[in-house]
Every structure is written in C-alpha cells, then in structure tokens.
Amino acid sequence: MEKFDKHHGVVMPLDRHNVDTDAIIPKQFLKSIKRSGFGHNLFDEWRYHDHGEPGMDPGSREKNLDFVLNHPRYQDATILLGRHNFGCGSSREHAVWALMDHGFRVVIAPSFADIFFNNALKNGLLPIVLDEDDIDQLFTAVLETPGYRIRVDLPAQQISLPNRHTIHFDIDPFHKDCQIRGLDDIDLTLQHAAEIRSFEEKRRLTAPWLFNNQN
Amino acid sequence: MSSKTLYDKLWDSHLVRQDEAGTALIYIDRHLIHEVTSPQAFEGLRLAGRKPWRTDSILAVPDHNVPTTDRSLGIADPISRLQVETLDQNCAELGITEFLMNDPRQGIVHVIGPEQGATLPGMTVVCGDSHTSTHGAFGALAFGIGTSDVEHVLATQCLILKKSKNLEIRVDGQLAAGVSAKDVVLAIIGRIGTAGGTGSAIEFTGTTLRAMSMEGRMTVCNMAIEAGARAGMVAVDDTTINYLGGRPYAPKGELLDRAIESWRALHSDPDARFARSVTLDAGLVLPQVTWGTSPEMVSAINEVVPDPDDEADSVKRDGMRRALDYMDLKPGTAITDIHPDHVFIGSCTNARIEDLRAAAAAIRGRKVAAGIKQALVVPGSGLVKRQAETEGLDKLFKDAGFEWREPGCSMCLAMNADRLAPGDRCASTSNRNFEGRQGQGGRTHLVSPAMAAAAAVTGHFTDICQEQG
C-alpha cells in the first residue's frame, strides 16, 4: 500500500450528496482484471458526453466542460471535497483505484459509506470525516479561491488552511499507523496465524457442520 | 452474563483476537466469489507467494458478466469472457469449487449460496459484493467487502474489523394483499435514508419479519446496504430451519440435529440493548415506487412525485432537481401516471421462486402493454429457472409477451449485454436506481415483482392492492 504521511494539494469540490461508486466508476470498466488504468474513466458518465467503453482513447472523447473534474482550475487537484454518504452503493474497490489513478490522495466528506471508507484505507487513499460546518466553510473557500490548496498532516491529524486556520480530524490508531507506514495488513494478520489456527480447530470441534463442503 | 443482540452473538463467536485500539480479527466461515471483484485478489495472492488458507470455505460462480441468452456459444464480449475465464482458471488452479456458467446450479451468487445450503445460520459470510447482506436472513453475519479484503480472506480466513453499532428495525403487523418484502424494505429506506444504517448492523425484528418466508427475509436483508448498513440480519426460527433441510451443503442427520440446537440460540436476548430502534407499522405500508436516483427517493403508489421546492436542505434540494431532471419527471405527477417502457424482473433482490410466482400471478391473463419495448424475466439461478418451468411460470410469462432468460445479474447492473438505452424507463425489481446503473442514461424505478409485472401489463404503475383486494 502507498504510504501516507503529509500531503499538500489543490482541492476539487464535488457538491453532491450520495455520490455512488457506480458514478465514480461505471460498470463497463469493472471488466478489467487489473488494478490500474481506471483514472481516465473516473466519473465517466459525468465527465464525458459520449458513452465510454473500455479501451477508448480519452483524448478523442467529448468532454462535459460543465463537470468540475474538467474545469481548468482543478486539473491538478489531489484532494476531493465531497458531501454526505460519499462512496455509497457497490463494494467495487475499482472506485478507489480510479480516484487514485487520477491522482487523488485524500477525500474529505461529512460521511462515507462503510465499504468505500474501508477500501480507501486499504489503498492509501485517506478518507477524512469533518463536521458539516467545516465542510461548508471549505466549499465556500474553494469556490471563492482559484488554486485553493490545503495541507493534510496525518501524523498530527490536522488540516492546515491557507488562512492559517487548522482543523483537527479523527482516525483510529490502527488505520493511522497502517497509512503512515504503508503496511500490508495481510502480513499483520499472518503474524497471528497460530491464533487463527487454534480458533479454527476449536470451531471445527464445536461446529463441524461449518467445515462440511460436501454436496 | 449480559444480554446480547444477535449481532453481538455472531461477533463474539467469530472473534479470534481483539487489540487495545478496538480493531478485531474476525474469522470467516464462508467466502463467496464471483468474477468481477476477485481477479486482482488472486493476482495479489500469487504475487505475494501466498496460498488460500481454506479452499473448502469458498464457493465461486460467474454471474455479473454472463449472457442471459443462449450460452452454447459462450460469451461474445471478449473482455467479459476473459474475466469469466480468469475466474475459471483461478478456481481450477487452486482447487476451489466453482459452478461454471453452464452448470445447472449456476446463478446469482446471493441466490445460489442459500439455495445450496452454503449459507448457514451462525456463519460469517463475505463476498466482494455489497449485496452479501442478503445472507443475514439466515441469522448469519454477512457483508460485502472490497477486493483487498477478498485477498485478505483468501490469505488469512479472517478480516480486520471494528464492531458496528446495533440498529434494530422492527416491523409489526400484517401486510396488505399485494404488499411484499420489497415494499417493506423500500419503505424503511424511505424512512431512514440511504445513510440511515451507516456504521450499523441492522437486525430486522417484529411480527411481520417472523411471518415472512426466507425469500422475503432475503429481499429485506439484501437492501440493508441500500440503507447504508453493511450487514442486515433476521433471527433464526422454524422458517429458517425448515428452509435448510435437505439442501446439498447443509448438515444432515445427527449433525443437523446438533446444528439446529445451536442455531436456536441465534436471536437477540429479550432485554438486549440496541444503540437505536426504529419501528414501522406494516399495516400502513403501501406498494412503493422510486422516482429518483437514490433508493431513498421513494413514494407510495397513491402519492405524487415530490416537489424539490418543499425541501429545506439546499444540497438535498439540488439533488432532487438533478434526479427529476435525469428521470424526466415533473413534481406533482401521480406515481400511477408514470409509464415505463421496459420491465426487468430479476436480480439478487427479487429473482427467487417466490418472486417469480408473485410476478406471474400479477399478470392475471393479460398481455404486455403496447408501450413496453422489452419485458425481461431473469431467474436468479438455474434451479430457480427449472422450478419455475416445472410450475409452468415460464409459459405464463412467455404467453404474456415476456422474455424468459438464463440466470445472472443481467440488467440489474448491465455488465452483460442486457441494458437500457439512454432515455429508457424501466420498472425494475433490482436494488439500485443510480444514474446509469441499468445502462447509461437509463431511468430506473425500483419496485416489487408484482408491481413490475402489473406495470408490464397495464403500461403504468398500478395500485396492485386494489387489483388484488
């Protein structure tokens, strides 16, 4: 997993509730058996006027210039500012891969759907929950200020704004540590392999029907 | 001993270890796999030189990409074909049981798990698919995971989790004729919103749930995720146990007796505490139809499309305007004046035998209306299809002008060739009405199987309670 320590970047506002993972990466792109290459199809149906299919040359497609991702001032954005219930819907991790492949490292929202939140943490895309007032103020600031950049400091759990104000954010210690060190959580879990095995053996005795895969 | 909810019991019985920070290692009993969210996990496993921890916990099936028309020629789309072949290769190589595309037991992963008895009470069940919540209908802890977690379960048989909050949704009373489990769950989502269950595991309780069949309970739990909850569940009772008897993967004989004894404890203790409880009077639930692009944008059949101007929250108001624009609907339009031009009866929400029976019954000898361009029936599995054919349901559908297809996810998410064209309006028994979900520019109205069939034969949404009354 990509490490996350501190990040300074341009903020892109996406002022909609319930941005679902179907919108983030439409289904036709999930046919890929790879983890990469999804960035050009991030928000495909909002971003282009024509219908997208895997393998199309993004340069030849008709862009929807009204969609925020296509605004010149957000071309270098690496921090996405969203609204309530960001990432709802399907469990597709492709949504996180697409955001990261496009260049996003942070998503800030008042709330996230559970599976998306977890998928983000598994890949080094930092999901930050802030309260509605802070979110509203960030939207105002981003819209008023071209090139609006903020600094995200994960070790300090702090966002620094250009006006020198800071906002504290919460993250549980396990995930914080994994992000900062870029840890592979399978390795972490396998450190407890003996415990898993002993749990499994007990379970095999008390509930043997769970280990019966015969038909 | 303190009182526990069903979720507490399932959590505690799978807890391998807990660390000080509150993260837990939870053991996974059943891992269901399909072709879309698994290839990168298998690749990750291979790159790290790891092997699956317990292949006998896994059951795999291709469902998202498979064609629902004649399969004798395979899959026409080369990218879809490669994805299904990749699943076949991974399973063959690692010795994982897979129901191949042309196996009569093939079907939607959330239909075949329970159908085979591969989903059992007291299990933890995961799948790289958000509708895994379906399996909670059996008193199991079941939830969707991303591909990294698919790899994690393959490699370790465990997941690193934080415990969710306990949310009780209690539904009491008798449903009117024509009102189904789908209407109940849509009404719940309309009430608590699509984020109402975020961070929670929902237990559906109450006399209405107790009276529901397993198929109905699966429909309700299936859409727990549409209320924001990764897991939904229903306590075990005789209905659960009777459903499981004789299923291929279910225990038999003395082992079944032992299992039943332990399953009987899978309910919340009478004085168990929930972080929150919501109650719904089943007698007040009418047939539901979504009008927007989120499952919470739902109205009863006797209502009208709401007016965004009545919404106080400005972001929500903009969302409603966008939704109505996308759906090409005007505020104040009677729900019964909405005319779909497509009908889709299928999906992991509503493609079980009871759903097909309800849809067939609602046809009542009529034909698909002139304005309907396509009416599809896609059974949830090969075995559901066969059962329906034994009962003559296929003939009822075909005589009325429906297409009778092969099992798969089909037009629920349109990864195969079954999809809406821009501007098409579909009465769908699936679970998501997001923009583009059933095909770019397509418009989805989520409804019950009976409502979808009634819309097919009348050409508009219809008060099926009055028809059946």
Over residues B374-415, the pLDDT tens digits come to 999 999 999 999 999 999 999 999 999 999 999 999 999 999
State whether B415 and A90 contact (CB < 8 Å).
Answer: no
Per-residue confidence (pLDDT) for residue A214, from 0 to 100: 58
Per-residue confidence (pLDDT) for residue B467, from 0 to 100: 78
> Searching chain B, which residue's CA lies closest to the CA of residue A173?
B21
| Residue-wise pLDDT tens digits, B316-372 | 999 999 999 999 999 999 999 999 999 999 999 999 999 999 999 999 999 999 999
Nearest by Cα to B160 from A115, A116, A188: A188
The pair of three-digit structure tokens given for residue A78, joined into one six-digit string = 């690496």
Query: With an 8 Å Cβ cutoff, is A89 touching chain B?
Result: yes
Q: Please, are residues B144 and B41 in contact by the beta-carbon 8 Å criterion?
A: no
> Searching chain A, which residue's CA lies closest to the CA of residue B131?
A90
Q: Could you tell me the sign of the dihedral formed by the alpha carbons of B323, B326, B330, B334, in that order?
A: negative
Dihedrals phi, psi of B33, to nearest 5 degrees: -135, 140
Residue A53's contacts (CB-CB under 8 Å, 6 or more residues apart) are: A28
State whether B37 and A174 contact (CB < 8 Å).
Answer: no
First to last CA, chain B: 49
What are the strands of the beta sheet with B374-377, ordered from one edge? B403-404, B374-377, B342-345, B425-428, B443-446
ipTM above 0.90 for this complex:
yes
| Residue-wise pLDDT tens digits, A29-57 | 999 999 999 999 999 999 999 999 999 99
Give the number of other CB atoms < 10 A from CB of residue A200: 19
Q: Give B469's pLDDT tier (boundaries 50, 70, 90).
A: low
Q: Pairing state of beta strands B288-290 and B298-300?
A: antiparallel
Helix H, strand E, coil C: the string for B129-195 is CHHHHHHHHHCCEEEECCHHHHHHHHHHCEEEEECCEEEEEEEECCCCCCCCHHHHHHHHHHHHCCC
Q: Give B211's pLDDT tier (boundaries 50, 70, 90).
A: very high
Measure CB to CB from residue B130 to each of A91, A172, A192 and give the nearest one.
A91
Chain A residues whose CB is inside 8 A of the B16 CB are 192, 195-196, 199
State whether B414 and A27 contact (CB < 8 Å).
Answer: yes
Question: For residue B59, which amino acid is it?
Answer: L
Task: Give B87-94 contacts, CB < 8 A, sequence gap 24+.
Answer: B87/B33, B87/B34, B87/B35, B87/B38, B87/B39, B87/B60, B87/B62, B88/B62, B90/B38, B90/B39, B90/B42, B91/B33, B91/B60, B94/B42, B94/B51, B94/B52, B94/B55
How far A162 CA lies from chain B's nearest CA (Å)? 26
Q: What is the domain partition of chain A in residue ranges?
A: 6-183
Q: Rounded CA gap, B327 and B314, in Å?
A: 20
Query: With an 8 Å Cβ cutoff, is A50 touching chain B?
Result: no
Residue A2's contacts (CB-CB under 8 Å, 6 or more residues apart) are: A100, A123, A124, A182
Q: Rounded CA gap, A66 and A68, in Å?
A: 6
> Searching chain A, which residue's CA lies closest to the CA of residue B226?
A89
| Residue-wise pLDDT tens digits, B435-468 | 999 999 999 999 999 999 999 999 999 999 887 6
State whether B120 and A85 contact (CB < 8 Å).
Answer: no
- Residue B303 Cα to chain centre, angstroms: 26
Chain A residues whose CB is inside 8 A of the B165 CB are none
Per-residue confidence (pLDDT) for residue A2, from 0 to 100: 85
Query: With an 8 Å Cβ cutoff, is A72 touching chain B?
Result: no
Per-residue confidence (pLDDT) for residue A215, from 0 to 100: 47
| Residue-wise pLDDT tens digits, B29-73 | 999 999 999 999 999 999 999 999 999 999 999 999 999 999 998
Per-residue pLDDT of chain A (215 residues; tens, 9 = 90+): 889 999 999 999 999 999 999 999 999 999 999 999 999 999 999 999 999 999 999 999 999 999 999 999 999 999 999 999 999 999 999 999 999 999 999 999 999 999 999 999 999 999 999 999 999 999 999 999 999 999 999 999 999 999 999 999 999 999 999 999 999 899 999 999 999 999 999 999 999 999 976 54
In CATH terms, the fold of domain A6-183 is Aconitase; domain 4 (3.20.19)
State whether B39 and A33 contact (CB < 8 Å).
Answer: yes
Q: Please, are residues B139 and B266 in contact by the beta-carbon 8 Å criterion?
A: yes
State whether B130 and A210 contact (CB < 8 Å).
Answer: no
Q: Rounded CA gap, A174 and A194, in Å?
A: 21
The pair of three-digit structure tokens given for residue A73, joined into one six-digit string = 């001032």
If you search the block for the tokens 């989120």, which residue do you land on?
B294
Q: Count how many residues are written for chain B.
A: 469
How far A164 CA lies from chain B's nearest CA (Å)? 28
Residue A77's contacts (CB-CB under 8 Å, 6 or more residues apart) are: A9, A10, A11, A12, A103, A104
> How high does pLDDT run on average in chain A?
96
SS3 at position B113? helix
